[in-house]
Every structure is written in structure tokens, then in C-alpha cells.
Amino acid sequence: MSLQFIHMIKQFSIPRGTSDILPSTVLSWESIESKAKDILKIYGYSEIRTPIYEDINLFKRSMGQTSDVVNKQLLEVLNNPSWVAMTKKEADEYQSQGLLKNYDPQKEMGLLSESGYALRPEGTAGVVRSYIENRLDAKETLSKLFYMGPMFRGERPQKGRLRQFHQIGVEAIGVDSASPYLDAEVIALGVRLLQEFGLSGFKLKINSLGTKEDKENFSIILRHILKDKLSDFCDDCRSRYDRNVFRILDCKNPACKQKIDALEFDDSHLSAESQAYFRHVRESVASLSIACEYDPKLVRGLDYYTHTVFEFVGGGLGSQDALGAGGRYNGLVSDLGGPAADAVGFALGVERVLLSVGEQTHPEKKLDAFMVALGETAYRRAFVINDFVRKSNVSCDMAHRPGGSMKSQMRLADKRGAKYVLILGEEEEKNHSVIVKNMSTGDQEIIGWDEVVEYLRNKLK
Ligand code: AMP
């Protein structure tokens, strides 16, 4: 065995389906996030931050046991006993919901939750949990909330499909707040955000699932239409037939897709009220000069959607072409034990937006000043002046140890794009001064230590 092999140390790699956002790309992320925050505030939305993991049952109950996300993609947090020990209140609650077996109230502390936690696969469930828990309904008639952050799904990674990805999402939740105008406003906000990020040429698809009863009607109609054709569909679709027939319409398998494309639907499964609501949503969207395409096959795989559902589809993204999606979910808040609040929202996928806008070049961030110190004594002084300059909010840096030559330090200053270089040698140390060199003109001036901050501030105005 070679010596080289013995000394080989395992190098760790990034987990599959995740990505490092390096400093060179972070500027693109910052730009998306800050543009989003500006627009969201203009539309009256406030930020909410919820944990990245929640009780696994929250996801199961909100998204539905039959959804792919819950069925195949939930990333469970290891059931560490000290983490999932329940409080008495939680244990009582679980007991009352029939979720606990062998419940012994004498031993409630340290009793393990039989549910455990999962990393959030999307943002809505956590926001709704927080809305209910913090009684936001008592504080405002309509809570307009937005979030941004990582989501986790155990997917098969491919271009545009990750296991850790990021969403920017909004939720407008309020008791008795259902209004076609609010649906249209939320859709318009999604369009505005995508435009602000630099996207054009994306399509807005829209459909209505109607009420819970309308959905039930639709699933009966769908099962009826598909019954004799089922053998032509993939295994996944065949199992979706009983569990969640809507998901068949979403199948990405080319053979299934072709068969679905050949089917024809309209909105006849919707009640007259649901049809009128949907018409009103589309008219309101049109009144804002936004084009949308009615797609009766747009369903959304999660149980909680009712009435309006929509998707933003981008060009040039290959098979993962959804930039964002959302819809109305009127029953979810009350289903999770909250008030009778209606809600509508969407989430945009940040990685997909970035893929779609392409590599962005950002002007390099230039340093205002760079300290050049000649010799150890001067370095010690420069170290303090550097700190002083920074405290006055002028960006400044220097070599991280003494001993560098004038030439090497000037090279460093140049590399960092410093506008001014402050040179401190033996002579300047004696005179309590620095030589300030303007890097674009080459002009130099001798400035006292006391005046250097004021001097830089004036020059940098
Ligand atoms: P969904 O919650 O599935 O409706 O997703 C909303 C948006 O998040 C999608 O339109 C995508 O832009 C993005 N998204 C969802 N899943 C992933 C994923 N696995 N990887 C990257 N982006 C995703």
C-alpha cells in the first residue's frame, strides 16, 4: 500500500440534490430577495418566518395522505427521544385526536410523540399553523403574509428539481375573506414579481377546482372517463386512480401525457356559484391587463386547494418548467382547528427563476479604502486605524498579517478594487499621518490620523 493511500483523508461531498450558493452567486440571490421584498411591501405583505421543521402530521393533514409530497417526499427528522418528548398539553391533544396509543397520563413527561417531525416541503402548512396558534385572526381581518426560505423534498434530483430548494411565497388569510378580486390581486402579484426578476415570456395557466363537493364530482367524472383506459397508463397513474385521481392529469410520463392531452374537459363539474366565482376571477385578472390561459387539466396535487388554482410556466426550463404555483384553500385553516378563514397564496421557486433568467453579472463590490503598512510597528497602528475607518461605515481592509512588501500590498489593494490606499510607513508613524493615494488619478496627499475619516467621507460622497 502506498504511503499516499494511507494518508488519504475522506473528502466530504455535498448531499445529493442540494447546492452550495457561493459568494459569486449570492449576489443574484440577494438581488431576487431584495426586489421581492420591495414589491411585497408595496402590495401590503409582511414577512413571517416559521421553523424549517414541523410536526409531521401537520403536513399529512394539510397536504393530504395521498399527495406525492406526503407519500414519497417527506424528509423525516430523526426521532431523537429528547426532541420529541411531548408536553402534557400536546399529549392530551394527541390523545383527544386518537393519535396516541398507550397513553399514560402519569408518565406524560418524556412520552414520545408518535408523530415526530419532518422538514417542511412547502410553506403554507407552517404559515397556517402559525396563523392559528398566534390568533392572527383576532388581530386583523386579512393577514397578508410572505415568506422566503428553504424547502425540502425527497425527490429524484435533476435540472431544476432539488431536494433542498428555495421558495418565495405569499398567503392572504382572513375570516370570510374569499373574494375573486383577492385571487386576482394575488395572481397579479406573482406576475409582477416574476417580471421584476427579469422574466418575460412566461405563461399564466388558470383553472378552478370549485368547492370540496365540486372536487368530489370532478373525481367521479375523471374516474368514469379513465376507467376503460387505465391499462394504457403507467403504474404510478394506476395507483393514483383510487388514491388521488387528479394526480393522473399531472403525470410527466410522455405516454400518459399524450393520453391526457387527448381528453377533453370543461367546467361542467362546477356548481353555478363556483362557475360564477371563477368567471369573476378571470375578468378581474383581465382588468389588470394580464393574459391567462384557461387549462381545465390544471389540478395541483395537494388536497387543500379549492376554487382557483394557477401556475406560472416558463419557457426554456425543460421538463421542470413550473416557475411557481398557487391557489385558493378555503377549508384548510378550519380543518387544522382554526377559525373559518379563507385563504389564497402561491410560491415561486427561486432556483427555477434563476435558471430562467440565466447567469447574471453584478458590478463587483469595490472597497473604499485599503491600508498598506510597511513594517510591524506601522502594521500595528494601521490595524487600529483600519478598525476606526470601518466604524465610520467606510469599507476598508488590509493584509491579514504584517511583513508584506509595498508591491504585494498594492497588488492586493488593486485586486479588491480599492478607491483609495492609505500608506503608513516609519515616517508617517512619526508624523501621525498617512499617505492617501487616489487609485484612479494617482494623486497623493498626506493626511493626519485625526482627519483621515473625514477626508475619505468627503472624497467618497
Ligand atoms: P409546489 O409547492 O410544488 O407548487 O411548488 C411551487 C414552486 O416551487 C414550483 O413551481 C417550483 O418552481 C418550485 N419547486 C417545487 N419543487 C421543487 C424542487 N424539488 N426543486 C426546485 N424547485 C421546486
pLDDT at 5: 57
Closest ligand 1 atom to residue 323 Cα is 12
Give 349 Cα–ligand 1 centroid separation in angstroms. Answer: 5
What is the pLDDT at residue 231?
87
Indicate which atom in ligand 1 lies nearest the CA of residue 160: 21
Residue type, 136: L
Rounded distance from Cα 198 to ligand 1 centre (Å): 19
- Residue pair 358/395 in contact by the 8 Å Cβ criterion: no
Q: Split the chain (461 residues) into runs of 10 and give each run's mean pLDDT.
A: 64 95 91 97 98 94 85 81 64 72 55 73 97 97 98 94 97 97 98 96 96 92 89 88 86 87 87 97 98 92 90 82 95 95 98 89 86 97 97 97 97 96 97 97 97 96 91
- Atom index in ligand 1 nearest the CA of residue 311 equals 10
Query: CA angle 263-266-267, nearest 5°?
Result: 145
Substitution site in 70, 120, 162 for ligand 1 pocket (most atoms within 8 Å of beta carbon):
162
Mutation probe of ligand 1 site: the residue of 163, 165, 300 with most atoms within 8 A of C-beta: 165
394 closest CA partner among 417, 368, 420: 368
d(CA 209, ligand 1 centre) in Å: 20
Q: How many residues does the chain have?
A: 461
Q: Best substitution site from 320, 346, 355 to test ligand 1's pocket, by max atoms within 8 Å of Cβ?
A: 320
C-alpha cell read off for 155: 425527490
DSSP E strand boundaries for 48-191: 53-55, 117-119, 143-152, 164-175
**Beta carbon of 369 within 6 Å of any ligand 1 atom:** no
The number of beta carbons lying within 10 Å of the beta carbon of residue 93 is 14
CA 37 to ligand 1 center in whole angstroms: 20
**What whole-number distance in Å separates Cα of residue 226 and Cα of residue 243?**
14
Is 153 touching ligand 1 by the criterion CB < 6 Å?
yes
- Residue of 309, 351, 356, 357 to test ligand 1 pocket, by largest number of atoms within 8 Å of CB: 351
162 lines ligand 1 (CB under 6 A): yes
Distance 266 CA to ligand 1 centre (A): 27
Nearest protein CA to atom 14 of ligand 1, as residue: 349
Answer yes or no: are the C-beta atoms of 123 and 151 closer than 8 Å.
yes
Strands laid side by side in the 420-424 sheet: 396-398, 369-373, 420-424, 433-438, 444-448
What's the longest Cα–Cα distance across the chain? 95
The answer, yes or no, to whether any atom of ligand 1 lies below 6 A from the CB of 349, is yes
Task: In whole angstroms, give the CA distance from residue 279 to residue 267.
Answer: 11
Phi, psi (degrees; rounded to nearest 5) at 143? -95, 120
Quote the CA–CA distance of 441 and 256 in Å, as a whole number. Answer: 67
Write out the H or E segment, with its range, that includes residue 237: helix 235-243
Residue nearest to atom 8 of ligand 1 (CA): 349
CB count within 10 Å of CB 10 equals 5
d(CA 193, CA 87): 42
DSSP conformation letters of 48-61:
----SEEEHHHHHH
**pLDDT for the residue 265:** 82
Which among 128, 15, 21, 151 has a CA at the least distance from the CA of 73? 151
Q: Which residues of 421-457 are buried (b: 16+ CB within 10 A; e: fewer)?
A: bbbbbeebbeeebbbbbebeeeeeeebebeebbebbe
Q: Which of 416, 380, 374 is nearest to 395 (CA)?
A: 416
| Among the listed residues 343, 341, 339, the one whose alpha carbon sits nearest the alpha carbon of residue 329 | 343
DSSP 200: -
- Evaluate whether 372 touches 381 at the Cβ level (below 8 Å): no
The confidence score (pLDDT) of residue 347 equals: 98
Paired sense of beta strands 164-175 and 341-349, if any: antiparallel
Classified as helix, coil or strand, 6 is helix
pLDDT of residue 102: 62
Point out which residues pair with 293 in neighbouring strands: 205
Q: How far apart are CA 69 and CA 63, in angstroms?
A: 8
Which of 407, 386, 390, 388 lies closest to 398, judged by CA?
386
Residue 221 and residue 248 in contact, taking contact as beta carbons nearer than 8 Å: no
Pocket test for ligand 1, best of 161, 310, 319, 321 (most atoms within 8 A of CB): 161
Read off the amino acid at residue 254: P
Q: What is the pTM of this model?
A: 0.88
Q: Which atom of ligand 1 is nearest to the CA of 300?
A: 4
